[in-house]
Amino acid sequence: MMTGYPRADGRKGIRNVAVVAYLVECAHHVAREIAQGFRSSEVQVIGFPGCFPNAYGQRMMEQLATHPNVGAVLLVSLGCESFNRYALAEAVRASGRPVHIVTIQETGGTRSSIAAGRRWLEEQLPALAAAPRLPMALSELVIGTVCGGSDGTSGITGNPAAGRAFDQFVAEGATCIFEETGELIGCEHIMAARAVTLELGRELEAAVAKAARYYATLGYGSFAAGNADGGLSTIEEKSMGAYAKSGASPICGLVKPGDVPPRGGLYLLDVVPDGEVRFGFPNINDNAEIAELIACGSHAVLFVTGRGSVVGSPISPVVKICANPETYRRMAEDMDVDAGAILEGRATLDEVGREIHDLVVALADGRRTASEELGHQEFVLTYKAFEPIGPACLPAR
């Protein structure tokens, strides 16, 4: 039976981690050293590196620090950055979680700040370890999906298998979120036809059109040399594979980073900034997309890879689905699911989809992913800007 840690906002978490959050890159080392003292415990590091304020960065940090998988938050500030640490602390406190700020300039520098942070965590960890768990329904789960290190097998095995798992979860009332609008170019009309309203369909098409304009302005798209080496020829071909991981369920909404879907169903996450191109590449690597899915409430993230990826993430476990059987044989220690079995006739799409589904359910009963066992905590948060979503993005049902 699935169980979760109850939170004051009614959600439940499948993990109960303590987050050490640096509020400027200058505080990153101190935050990392604080966490290093608890390698055997659920202590993870996130942070915003910029020195000048950004509404997207502030919102992302607030959503991540109050994620249902988080039980306590230690904020590490240099002291002179523009990040509003007091607003973040208040948001965490209002959520019912313990929170503490270590300000390096006021605490006496590196060593004293590390010691102060570790002392606070030592006080919090026993309570986190003893926290009660309550029964958790499948309909309370939020699952995200992303693909990275894609090759010619990704759209044949791993991505459609993730899509089959999504269809099962949606049928059970769970919330599923797919993204990568820059890798859905060419699929927007097919996607719009699955929208529950015509107005939402137009919003989905507009999100992909925005991504196409953004990449055209930059002069390059979301297509890496490794994709070509792996057998992909064009962004359209890559898009068809990326689109497959959305499954076949009706699309009931469009959200932006930090928006938590209001009810179960399938949602598109628009990750490309609004307005003129100001911040460079929308997602500088896969970890940025994982962070945005988590900020939308994802308890776990399905990560499909053909060439091979080793990343995990703080806060929410990452389920590594390997599309290529040769890659799986080389990198089995980093993988959770061998979707390449489909290519070799050892399993069907439905069987691998069920395996993915059951693995996510097992995470809520204590099972750990390969990236968790290996200690992966990759995290990226950069500058962006978004306008609020409109009413057409979340049709009433």
Strands 134-135 and 12-13: unpaired
CA angle 14, 260, 371 (to 5 degrees): 40
Token pair recorded at residue 304:
């499909």
Mean pLDDT value across residues 131-142: 97
**Are 252 and 177 part of one and the same domain?**
yes
Q: What does the pLDDT look like over 274-320, one tens digit per residue?
A: 999 988 888 888 999 999 999 999 999 999 998 899 999 999 999 99
**Are 241 and 153 part of one and the same domain?**
yes
38-42, 95-99, 107-111: range with lowest mean pLDDT: 38-42
**Are 179 and 62 part of one and the same domain?**
no
Whether residue 355 is predicted with pLDDT greater than 90 in this model: the reply is: yes
Domain boundary among 106, 134, 162: 134
Mean pLDDT value across residues 348-361: 97
Mean pLDDT value across residues 361-377: 94
What domain range includes position 342? 138-393
Mean pLDDT value across residues 234-248: 72
**Are 122 and 198 part of one and the same domain?**
no
Mean pLDDT value across residues 141-165: 89
**Are 289 and 338 part of one and the same domain?**
yes
Sign of CA dihedral 37, 73, 359, 244: negative
The pTM score is 0.95
- Count of domains observed in the chain: 2
**Are 218 and 183 part of one and the same domain?**
yes
Q: How many angstroms separate the CA atoms of 239 and 235, rounded?
A: 6
Please report which helix (H) or strand (E) contains residue 19, including its range: strand 17-22
pLDDT score of 219: 82
Q: How far is CA 324 from CA 241, 318, 379, in A?
A: 13, 18, 25
Domain boundary among 101, 134, 167: 134
**Are 128 and 144 part of one and the same domain?**
no
Domain boundary among 134, 151, 186: 134
Q: How many angstroms separate the CA atoms of 91 and 344, rounded?
A: 50
**Are 310 and 341 part of one and the same domain?**
yes
